[in-house]
């Protein structure tokens, strides 16, 4: 049995994965969030663990849980929490995969008390969150770095720009254009683009199969 474990392709590799949405507080009872379920990131984590990797899974609010003892789950709430958790582990990992739907903006000021409905109109000033993946790209040493991209126009061009801006080795472009792809659904239509701009469109697949394709890319990187 130990012999079998030794032969797993990602044995000895540490992989950091982000998953899920982030929640950005408005006041003690309200937040700005998004519809990410976390499934893609959890599927990648399970697949990586099945292939022998030691996984650190940093996840925003989700109902998913982990069974595999090779996955250390760190639950976070905000983009800043996720940033801090990622940087705690990043220096010690071989691979990082950014599947989280991180909020781009957060309320500039968080109210101490529940906001009362006094005004007829009400606006919240937002400020940019830190780009977690870009910061990992800046600090990259040996790590194989994978990001996701969600685009609705000029998909390939925008995804290529993200590879360069964030210093990625591979980007997984998610298409919302095709039926059956997107938030809350079991399937994804993705295109892989490598850092040398090789474009590899994939069939519409289950998220588990997309996770397998992504982890196979990691295995190929270490085989080459
Ligand atoms: N990402 C991140 N931290 C952020 C925003 C995004 O780590 N604050 C990561 C996502 O996890 C994803 C990649 O960056 O892997 C691209 O996210 P996406 O929303 O497609 O791109 P952005 O860089 O946020 O740009 P925009 O939303 O304007 O297209
Ligand atoms: Ca974004």
- In tens, the pLDDT along 188-211 reads 899 999 999 999 999 999 999 999
Has residue 196 been placed in a domain? yes
Assess whether the C-beta atom of 200 lies below 6 angstroms from ligand 1: no
Cα→Cα distances 42→16, 33, 161, 184, Å: 12, 19, 26, 13
Mean pLDDT along residues 141-166: 97
Q: What is the pLDDT of residues 97-124, one digit of tens each?
A: 999 999 999 999 999 999 999 999 999 9
HSE-CB at 173 with a 13 A cutoff on CA atoms is 28
Ligand 1 atom nearest 147 alpha carbon:
15
Cα→Cα distances 145→29, 79, 151, Å: 35, 19, 19
Q: What is the per-residue pLDDT for 179?
A: 57
Q: What is the per-residue pLDDT for 187?
A: 86
Has residue 118 been placed in a domain? no
Assess whether the C-beta atom of 175 lies below 6 angstroms from ligand 1: no
Q: What is the pLDDT of residues 34-73, one digit of tens each?
A: 999 999 999 999 999 999 999 999 999 999 999 999 999 9
Has residue 112 been placed in a domain? no
Assess whether the C-beta atom of 133 lies below 6 angstroms from ligand 1: yes
- Ligand 1 pocket mutation, candidates 102, 172, 176, 193, criterion most atoms within 8 A of CB: 102
Q: Taking Cα atoms as reference points, which of 56, 46, 58, 48 lies closest to residue 21?
A: 58
Separation CA 203–CA 128 (nearest Å) = 34
Mean pLDDT along residues 145-169: 97
Q: What's the gap in Å between 55 CA and the centre of ligand 1?
A: 21
Has residue 117 been placed in a domain? no
Has residue 121 been placed in a domain? no
Q: What is the per-residue pLDDT for 180?
A: 55
Q: Is 114 annotated as a binding residue?
A: yes
Q: Taking Cα atoms as reference points, which of 51, 223, 37 lies closest to residue 144?
A: 223
- Show the domain range for 143: 2-104+126-223
Q: Taking Cα atoms as reference points, which of 146, 171, 147 lies closest to residue 160?
A: 171
Percent pLDDT > 90 in the chain is 90
Assess whether the C-beta atom of 136 lies below 6 angstroms from ligand 1: no
Specify the CATH number for the domain of residue 150.
3.40.50.10300
- Does residue 175 surpass a pLDDT of 60? yes
Has residue 157 been placed in a domain? yes
Residue 182 banded pLDDT, cuts 50, 70, 90: low
Residue 178 banded pLDDT, cuts 50, 70, 90: low
Has residue 147 been placed in a domain? yes
Q: What is the per-residue pLDDT for 185?
A: 72
Average pLDDT, the chain: 94
Q: What's the gap in Å between 111 CA and the centre of ligand 1?
A: 26
Separation CA 134–CA 166 (nearest Å) = 4
Residues 104, 110, 114, 118: what is their CA dihedral angle, to the nearest 10 degrees? -90
Output the six-digit token pair for 188. Answer: 């994804």
Has residue 195 been placed in a domain? yes
The number of folded domains in the chain is 1
- Any idea which residues carry the catalytic annotation? 34
Q: What's the gap in Å between 68 CA and the centre of ligand 2?
A: 30
Output the six-digit token pair for 71. Answer: 């996955």
């Amino acid at each position: 049995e130990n012999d079998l474990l030794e032969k797993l392709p990602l044995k000895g590799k540490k992989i950091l994965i982000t998953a899920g949405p982030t929640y950005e507080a408005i006041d003690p009872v309200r937040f700005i969030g998004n519809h990410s379920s976390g499934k893609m990131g959890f599927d990648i984590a399970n697949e990586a663990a099945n292939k022998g990797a030691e996984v650190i899974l940093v996840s925003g609010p989700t109902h998913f849980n982990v069974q595999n003892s090779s996955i250390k789950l760190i639950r976070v709430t905000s983009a800043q929490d996720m940033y801090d958790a990622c940087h705690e582990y990043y220096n010690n990992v071989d691979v990082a995969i950014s599947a989280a739907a991180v909020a781009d903006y957060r309320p500039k000021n968080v109210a101490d008390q529940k906001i009362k409905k006094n005004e007829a109109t009400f606006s919240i000033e937002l400020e940019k969150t830190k780009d977690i993946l870009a910061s990992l790209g800046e600090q990259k040493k040996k790590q194989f770095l994978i990001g996701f991209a969600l685009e609705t126009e000029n998909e390939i061009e925008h995804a290529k720009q993200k590879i360069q801006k964030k210093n990625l080795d591979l980007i997984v472009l998610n298409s919302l254009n095709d039926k059956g792809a997107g938030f809350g659904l079991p399937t994804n239509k993705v295109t892989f683009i490598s850092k040398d701009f090789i474009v590899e469109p994939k069939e519409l697949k289950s998220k588990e199969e997309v996770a397998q394709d992504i982890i196979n890319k990691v295995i190929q990187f270490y085989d080459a």
